[in-house]
Structure 1
Amino acid sequence: MTSENPTRTGSRRLRADRARQVADVLRRQVLGEAFADGALPREDELAEEFGASRNTVREALDLLRGEGLVRRVPGSGTLVVAEKVPHGLNRLQGLAETLHEHGEVVNEVRSFGPVRAPGPVARRLGLPEGADVVYVERLRRLNGLPLSLDLTYLAPDIGAELTAEALVDQDIFGLIEQVTGRSLGRADITLEAVNADAHSAAMLEVPRGSALLMLERLTSLSDGRPVDLEYVRFRGDRITMQGSLLRDIP
């Protein structure tokens, strides 16, 4: 048995750490369309800009290639091949409102109708145990490509006024405001990474077990009444969450 040179092992680890740092900065440039012609600078130029070795830059580009953001083209260098669309977290908006500048959002309504609310859902919507809610499952597409799978529980009086047909080409948020005559007030959100189960993977056309962005959102009317509880699974390779945060200092 031969032992690995600890100095060489430490060197590789440092290079891998540095490669991730370089990839993080380049990723934001790629997604932010900093490379207008779709081509990244040459490896030697990137090495100089980041103060890194060419091997480190190559490892960073390999990471981005693994994410499907760039590809190596002989004779042309490294090109941008995938674009993520930004989903803003600053305002309470539906997906079509958020992404209207990036193309057409189409809803495929896969399920719509009353169901008995699970206990946690009823409690979060301020409903009695065993109450019915209206359940909606939608596959959302952007420019024809699957982007998100939305599972929504609506307060029963609001859901009863909606139709599956209306949900095909309209955001739920706008429909809720039409039905209630009130504006939406706030939403409490949780964002986390989850693995794609068999159903989600099939709907979003990704391998089972792929990382998805899961947005849990409880939305209330301006009077504080909770009316909409959503679990939205986004394809992580097609969307990036963006927002601006202000620090309140006492």
Structure 2
Amino acid sequence: MEKKNEGASPADPTTPEAIGYKPLYAQVRDRLMRRLVEGEWLPGMLLPSEIELARQLNVSQGTVRKALDSMTADNLLMRRQGRGTYVAEPEESRILFQFFRLSPDQGTPSFPDSRVLSTGHAKPTPTETEALRLEKGDRVFRIERIRSLSDQPILIETITLPARRFPDFDHLTIIPNNLYRLYSERWGITIASAEERLKAIAASARDAAKLGCDTGEPLLLISRVARDLENRPVELRWSRCITREIHYAVNLR
């Protein structure tokens, strides 16, 4: 059983690094998470050693290791053999398997290309207001893009962002394929988790024209709310997907 108190003296509970009365490794994780949220630790940064973190928090090295292991399992940190622990970057290989669940029926999964169809500010719909927890008077920024695998369109996305959290988004001359990396590098917003819902729909005439399918053809609608490190919703994404040669894959453990 993990001990509540470690080290020569307990941390002062009035200090920023104080450890409270939760399970100790969970409290250490909470403190380390604050460093991510507040931008003290940035993507790609090398963390202090376990020994140094244990000294800072007045806990054992084993407790720190357990907290770091938990954060690594959640893809927030990366272990590099012989080099240390780093803040994870939202690189395409990680996002491919963590946040993109569409795979070809045959062949190796790959990250799709994107082409932006339209962008702009707008008044939020009731659905967007609820999903993103917007306040009265808030505006949103919408992106519509088509995504392809091997030059074959597979889905259309409508992405909605709270404008106050992404100032100057409309000033970008190029919107990159990897939006989650953009959120992290430009606005310091790390996507830590997402909730998705799946539903079968019929292709509208507009979507059918863009995807090269028949109006009324069955599509898979994926609605996603992506959340930051503090579990606040930061993106609502609607994807309408052709599933002739692809499928939605998830591992249940």
Q: 3-state SS of the aligned residue for 1:160?
A: coil
Q: Residue 138 in 1 paired to residue 145 in 2?
A: yes
**1:103/1:173 CA distance change after superposition, 3 Å:** same
Report the CA distance between 1:147 and its aligned residue.
Answer: 1.1
Distance 2:122 2:196 in 1: 23
Q: 3-state SS of the aligned residue for 1:184?
A: coil
Distance 1:239 1:154 in 2: 27
Q: Residue 230 in 1 paired to residue 243 in 2?
A: no
How does the TM-score come out when normalised to structure 1?
Answer: 0.56
Partner residue, 2:122:
115
Partner residue, 1:242:
249
Q: 3-state SS of the aligned residue for 2:169?
A: coil
Q: Residue 189 in 1 paired to residue 187 in 2?
A: no
**1:111/1:207 CA distance change after superposition, 3 Å:** same
Q: Would you say the 8 A contact 2:194–2:227 is kept in 1? A: yes
Q: Would you say the 8 A contact 2:121–2:142 is kept in 1? A: yes
How does the TM-score come out when normalised to structure 2?
Answer: 0.55
Distance 1:201 1:232 in 2: 13
Distance 1:170 1:95 in 2: 16
Q: 3-state SS of the aligned residue for 2:241?
A: strand
- State which of 148, 151, 165 in structure 1 corresponds to 2:158: 151
Q: In the TM superposition, what are the counterparts of 1:8-19 in structure 2 within 5 Å?
A: none
* Cα deviations by residue, 1:115-148 (Å, 9 ceiling, x for unpaired): 0001221121111134210011001122211111
Distance 1:181 1:89 in 2: 20
Q: Residue 166 in 1 paired to residue 154 in 2?
A: no
Task: Give unpaired runs (5+ residues) of structure 1.
Answer: 1-87
The one-letter amino acid of 1:200's match is D
**1:240/1:127 CA distance change after superposition, 3 Å:** same
Q: Would you say the 8 A contact 1:123–1:129 is kept in 2? A: no
Bigger Cα Rg: 1
Distance 2:142 2:154 in 1: 20
Distance 1:104 1:146 in 2: 13
Distance 2:122 2:102 in 1: 25
Report the CA distance between 1:202 and its aligned residue.
Answer: 0.6
Distance 2:169 2:96 in 1: 26
**1:92/1:104 CA distance change after superposition, 3 Å:** closer
- Over the matched positions of the two proteins, sequence identity in percent amounts to 23
Partner residue, 1:208:
215
Distance 1:147 1:226 in 2: 26
Partner residue, 1:55:
none
Q: Residue 218 in 1 paired to residue 225 in 2?
A: yes
Report the CA distance between 1:161 and its aligned residue.
Answer: 3.6
* Cα deviations by residue, 1:170-206 (Å, 9 ceiling, x for unpaired): 2222211223324211111101111001111111100
Distance 1:118 1:201 in 2: 24
Q: Would you say the 8 A contact 1:182–1:221 is kept in 2? A: yes
Q: In the TM superposition, what are the counterparts of 1:22-33 in structure 2 within 5 Å?
A: none
Task: Give unpaired runs (5+ residues) of structure 2.
Answer: 1-94
Partner residue, 1:52:
none
Q: Residue 92 in 1 paired to residue 99 in 2?
A: yes
* Cα deviations by residue, 1:92-129 (Å, 9 ceiling, x for unpaired): 35989xxxx55573222111111000122112111113
Distance 2:231 2:169 in 1: 21
